[in-house]
Amino acid sequence: MEKKGWKVDSVDANGSLANANTAMRALVTRKVSAILVTVFPASSLTEGLAATRQAGIPVVDAGGGLGDGVGLAIDTGIPGPMVNYMLRQINDQGKVLNLTYHPGLPCRERADAMDAAAKAHPGIQLTDHEISIPGAAETSQAATAAWLAANPPGSASSFAIFNCYDDNAMGAIAALKQANRTDVKVYSFNGTPPALQAIKDGWMTATLWLDLVASSSTIIDDLPKMVGNSNWKAKDVPSPYVIVDKGNIDQFEAQHPGVANS
């Protein structure tokens, strides 16, 4: 956006839905041209979207889905591929810790998919735990430590941790290292540099990398078309992705240079 000469202001809502709605109303007061929201579900941005609709300001929601007043939604949840990948690896059975954050739509979609998988496969013993943001890594580490203590080695055919995203997964991995548990598979989302390194080191099994650069290009192309366009038709665009594990990480890094150090 800045390369195009657009003035960009960023506001951190600190994981608070109330802060997100307040920020949107404040941006409307400042008469911005457009607003980009990340993660917060459009269905929960009632006050913010009411203000933007009244002011005629287009809204893009990356990870929050479509809603009244959202002209473009980038789908970053994509839970199915990773859930199915995990199920194959644990043979549809074992003990699974599901670390999630329901206020964020991508995390909610991933948690719901994991819950549905557990209901469909009676051999899975699922433990759900809500993490905190801020504090994703710390709360994940504490929850994982407690889960490991309650589920010692040999108490199940397999163990797995299904994470909302890589930041909280690193907390889970910290607990695994502290307990010296190498019998637990770890699955996550986003493909951050720490997660890719954890795959190389053998602590993370797989992460679903989202091609947010490609998604950002969609946003950059569409935003100017949305401004002042009452005939714009809302659309939902899935983010491209790659499941990265030890088998393809070298190929992935070769095809996407710079991701591991971004």
pLDDT number for residue 212: 85
- Report the alpha-carbon distance of residue 203 to residue 184 in Å, rounded: 9
Please state the pTM of the whole predicted model.
Answer: 0.80
Quickly name the fold that domain 80-210 has: Rossmann fold (3.40.50)
| Cβ-count burial 202-219 (b if 16+ within 10 Å, e if not) | ebbbbbbbbebeebeebb
70's enclosing H/E stretch is strand 70-75
CA distance 190 to 207: 7
Residue in this structure with the two tokens 């599901």, named with its chain if needed = 98
What is the domain partition of the chain in residue ranges? Answer: 17-75+212-239, 80-210
- Smallest CA-to-CA distance from 59 within 215, 190, 232, 214 is with 232
pLDDT of residue 161: 98
**Model confidence at 105, in pLDDT bands (50, 70, 90)?**
confident
Distance CA 206, CA 81 (A): 11
* Residue 229 φ then ψ, to 5°: -105, 100
CB count within 10 Å of CB 232 equals 14
For the stretch 111-166, pLDDT in tens is: 999 999 999 999 999 999 999 988 999 999 999 999 999 999 999 999 999 999 99
